[in-house]
Structure 1
Amino acid sequence: MATAGSKPLTVPQVCAELGISRSTFYDWRAKRRAPKCITLPNGSLRIRRAELERWLAAHEDAA
């Protein structure tokens, strides 16, 4: 079972962390450019912290 520290993030939490709007997140999702999501039985989405970190690392720009 997941611990409180590893509780999946909601779309608003991810949007706030990335500094993007919900519409941008859903646009990325439609284009398959967003982090992988978990779809709950009620249709809500959740994003695992580890998946968000992996997604961010994959989008790092070597400066």
Structure 2
Amino acid sequence: MTTRDDSLKLPEVLKEMRVSRAAFYRMRARGAAPKLIKLPNGQIRVRRSELDRWWAALESL
């Protein structure tokens, strides 16, 4: 069972967003991507709640 604040791996986020890694990092450079969590080992995560918030913000545009 998952909770709303599960951490998603970057490939999972890219798949849901249907964008390439390069496109995601371009969005991030413009400040238009979900907030990331960088783990001490260098891996990237996105909280499920943050991705949901990001999607909701797009709906209001």
TM-score surpassing 0.5? Answer: yes
Partner amino acid for 1:38? I
Structure 1: runs of 5+ lacking an equivalent: none
The whole-number CA distance in structure 1 between the counterparts of 2:24 and 2:37 is: 14
How far residue 61 of structure 1 moved from its aligned partner, in angstroms, is: 4.8
Pair member with larger Rg: 1
Partner amino acid for 1:5? T
Structure 1 residue ranges, 4+ long, deviating more than 2 angstroms after superposition: none
TM-score (norm 1): 0.81
TM-score (norm 2): 0.84
Structure of higher RCO (CA pairs closer than 8 Å, 6+ residues apart): 2
Report whether the alignment pairs 1:5 with 2:6.
Answer: no
RMSD: 1.5
Partner residue of 2:22? 23
Report whether the alignment pairs 1:33 with 2:32.
Answer: yes
How far residue 17 of structure 1 moved from its aligned partner, in angstroms, is: 0.6
The whole-number CA distance in structure 2 between the counterparts of 1:5 and 1:61 is: 26
Structure 2: runs of 5+ lacking an equivalent: none
Number of aligned pairs? 59
